[in-house]
Amino acid sequence: MEYDDLAKIDNLAHNLWDAAALFCLEHKSLRYTELGREMAAWSGRYLSESELTRTRHRLVRRKMISPGPGANGHNVYTITQAGRARLAQIRVIIQIAPRLDQPDGDTADDGKPDDEG
């Protein structure tokens, strides 16, 4: 494994709010305030207005979400193909994450190391 490979993995979920926004926008477009509420509800964590703004700017700049006209002249944010690709990459990491905390050779179903007698 190369350092650059690890850097790519770190970049996938470097900012958890980015991932939260992508998950929340996966199935529907949302207005800015709706996105903030959905992210807070999805994560169960407090999301400040400034963090929501930084997340939105970062994802728009990286072309993972795009603003567009919505009802009543308000912008809505929609996930793009780049955002969907990033979401798919994050899902791969999530699938293997439960196995990352097990030491090599640990096959116990309960998460505890096997007794060696």
CATH number at residue 34: 1.10.10.10
Is the CB of residue 73 less than 8 Å from the CB of residue 66? no
pLDDT at 33: 95
Higher-pLDDT residue of 99 and 59 is: 59
Whether 102 maps to a domain, the answer reads no
- Tokens 């190391």 correspond to 113
Q: What is the mean pLDDT of the chain?
A: 84
**99: in domain:** no
Note whether residue 87 is domain-resident.
Answer: yes
At residue 17 the predicted structure's pLDDT band, cuts being 50, 70 and 90, is very high
Q: Provide the 10 A C-beta neighbour count for residue 100.
A: 7
User: Does the pLDDT at position 101 exceed 80?
Assistant: no
CA 35 to chain centre: 13
pLDDT value, residue 10: 72
Q: Which domain holds residue 48?
A: 3-94
100 part of a folded domain: no
Whether residue 80 lies inside any domain: the answer is: yes
Specify the pLDDT at position 117. 45
Distances (CA, A) of 99 to 8, 65, 109: 19, 31, 11
Residue 80 pLDDT > 50: yes
* pLDDT of amino acid 71: 80
| Domain tally, the chain | 1
Does position 59 have pLDDT exceeding 60, yes or no? yes
Does residue 78 sit within a domain?
yes
The per-residue pLDDT for 15 is: 83
Is 62 part of any domain? Answer: yes
Measured CA to CA, the distance from residue 62 to residue 95 in angstroms comes to 25
* Chain centroid to CA 78: 15
Nearest to 22 by CA among 87, 73, 70: 87
Is 63 a member of any domain?
yes
Mean pLDDT of 80-86: 96
